[in-house]
């Protein structure tokens, strides 16, 4: 604990200036207290298996509810908001051009790297103000409830899309936290909720992953299905994935609080799927080593690309999918290519599925080929 903390208000102003210079748009200060109001909800959420394959969410729950389980000296949290530009929905005909869409947050370099760098600037400012101060930074890492601390620091409110929302920035931003043993004057009064009667995010989610009561079913969320999910995408949800290759922005795009959009290049926003299907391990790593897209891994990204190709309804994709079905080493990718061929249909697709049914050594691929043939591809 620090023995002497002169002019805490001046400290806050200095920290705010450092945060702004580092690239953060908003700063909030909150007292570190146990998040008692989240324990029952989280325990029930985990008990229902909503975390799916995200097993890390079930680890170290005590640290999530009370950061003092990480370091008992923590007194305050500096919550930081880093904005990113939302893209306009592209004018590209994704079906005709065989393209898939990437969520806005994953465009460009991996946000973990540059937002963490900015958070460390804030941490260094604290340590320069008070030599010996305790600091610890997080950017979407570690057992930290980022939305909750952002709300406690009065950056915004929990929206019906389960994201933190602000009047100024909507939901297009990343969060970072600096926990410290400095004490700042702050209030626990909640930020006023401004969603009102709007239900656009709930009603327009293709998979109905959002529920009343500010709850999400991640196992139905397109972002979860295309990123965190390591196995097959459930058949009943594949068509609803639509054009989303990595992540999804629908619940943000329909939110009235989100600001005007930027105009990224089509190649960045909607890569060509046939090119992606040809990536081997080396070319995947070279292309995505500094991108958040690497989280899906090659097999996951190609699985997603196969699903989107099937959703295009464009038989120009049959040749690429047939090649994948015959040459791709990953059974997960082959099985989704078989599904896509079944969706697209045509004589060439049927021949490819017949060969896969007869020759493939993986039962899942054989089953998908059989199911595609039974759907009556013509």
Please write the tens of the pLDDT for every residue from 340-357.
999 999 999 999 999 999
Q: What are phi and psi of 54, to 5 degrees?
A: -85, 65
Same domain for 213 and 345?
A: no
Same domain for 89 and 213?
A: yes
Catalytic hit among 66, 71, 140, 316: 140
| Cα end-to-end span (Å), the chain | 74
Q: Is the pLDDT of residue 296 over 70?
A: yes
Instruction: Read off the pTM.
Output: 0.92
Same domain for 261 and 363?
A: no
Same domain for 293 and 355?
A: yes
Is the separation of the CB atoms in 311 and 245 below 8 Å?
A: no
Last residue of a domain, one of 216, 247, 271: 271
Per-residue confidence band for 9, with pLDDT thresholds at 50, 70 and 90: low
Instruction: Give the contacts of 145 (CB within 8 A, at least 6 positions apart).
Output: 35, 38, 64, 65
Q: Is the pLDDT of residue 214 over 80?
A: yes
Per-residue confidence band for 4, with pLDDT thresholds at 50, 70 and 90: very low
Find the domain containing 137 and state its range. Answer: 1-271
Is the separation of the CB atoms in 89 and 253 below 8 Å?
A: yes
Same domain for 138 and 109?
A: yes
Comparison of pLDDT for 195 and 259, the residue scoring more: 195
| Pairing assessment for the beta strands 215-216 and 210-211 based on DSSP bridges | antiparallel
The total number of structural domains in the chain stands at: 2
Q: Is the pLDDT of residue 289 over 90?
A: yes
Q: What is the pLDDT of residue 5?
A: 44
Last residue of a domain, one of 237, 271, 305: 271
Q: Is the pLDDT of residue 47 over 70?
A: yes
Give the distance, in angstroms, between the CA of residue 98 and the centroid of all CA atoms in the same chain.
Answer: 23
| Highest mean pLDDT (candidates 82-96, 139-153, 265-279) | 139-153
- Catalytic residue at 140? yes
């Amino acid at each position: 604990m620090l023995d002497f903390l002169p002019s805490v208000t001046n400290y806050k102003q200095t920290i705010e200036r450092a945060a702004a210079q580092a690239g953060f748009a908003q700063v909030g200060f909150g007292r570190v207290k146990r998040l008692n109001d989240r324990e029952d909800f989280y325990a029930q959420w985990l008990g229902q298996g909503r975390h799916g394959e995200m097993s890390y969410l079930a680890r170290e729950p005590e640290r999530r509810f009370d950061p003092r389980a990480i370091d008992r000296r923590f007194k305050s949290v500096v919550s930081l908001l880093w904005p990113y530009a939302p893209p306009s929905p592209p004018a590209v005909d994704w079906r005709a051009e065989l393209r898939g869409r990437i969520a806005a947050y994953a465009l460009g370099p991996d946000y973990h790297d540059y937002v963490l760098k900015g958070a460390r600037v804030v941490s260094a400012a604290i340590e320069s103000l008070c030599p010996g101060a305790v600091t610890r930074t997080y950017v979407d890492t570690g057992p930290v409830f980022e939305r909750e601390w952002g709300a406690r620091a009065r950056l915004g409110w929990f929206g019906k899309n389960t994201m933190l929302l602000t009047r100024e920035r909507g939901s297009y931003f990343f969060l970072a936290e600096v926990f410290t043993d400095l004490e700042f004057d702050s209030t626990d009064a909640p930020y006023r909720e401004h969603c009102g009667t709007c239900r656009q995010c709930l009603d327009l989610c293709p998979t109905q992953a959002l529920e009343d009561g500010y709850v999400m079913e991640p196992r139905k969320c397109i972002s979860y299905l295309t990123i965190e999910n390591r196995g097959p995408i459930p058949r009943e949800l594949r068509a609803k994935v639509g054009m989303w290759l990595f992540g999804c922005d629908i619940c943000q795009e329909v939110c009235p609080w989100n600001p005007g959009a930027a105009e990224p290049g089509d190649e960045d926003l909607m890569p060509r799927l046939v090119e992606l299907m040809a990536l081997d391990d080396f070319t995947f790593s070279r292309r995505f080593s500094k991108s958040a897209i690497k989280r899906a891994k090659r097999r996951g990204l190609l699985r997603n690309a196969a699903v989107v190709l099937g959703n295009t309804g464009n038989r120009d994709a049959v040749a690429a999918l047939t090649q994948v079905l015959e040459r791709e080493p990953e059974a997960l990718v082959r099985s989704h290519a078989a599904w896509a061929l079944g969706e697209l249909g045509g004589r060439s697709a049927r021949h490819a599925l017949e060969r896969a049914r007869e020759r493939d050594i993986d039962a899942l691929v054989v089953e998908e080929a059989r199911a595609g043939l039974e759907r009556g591809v013509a």
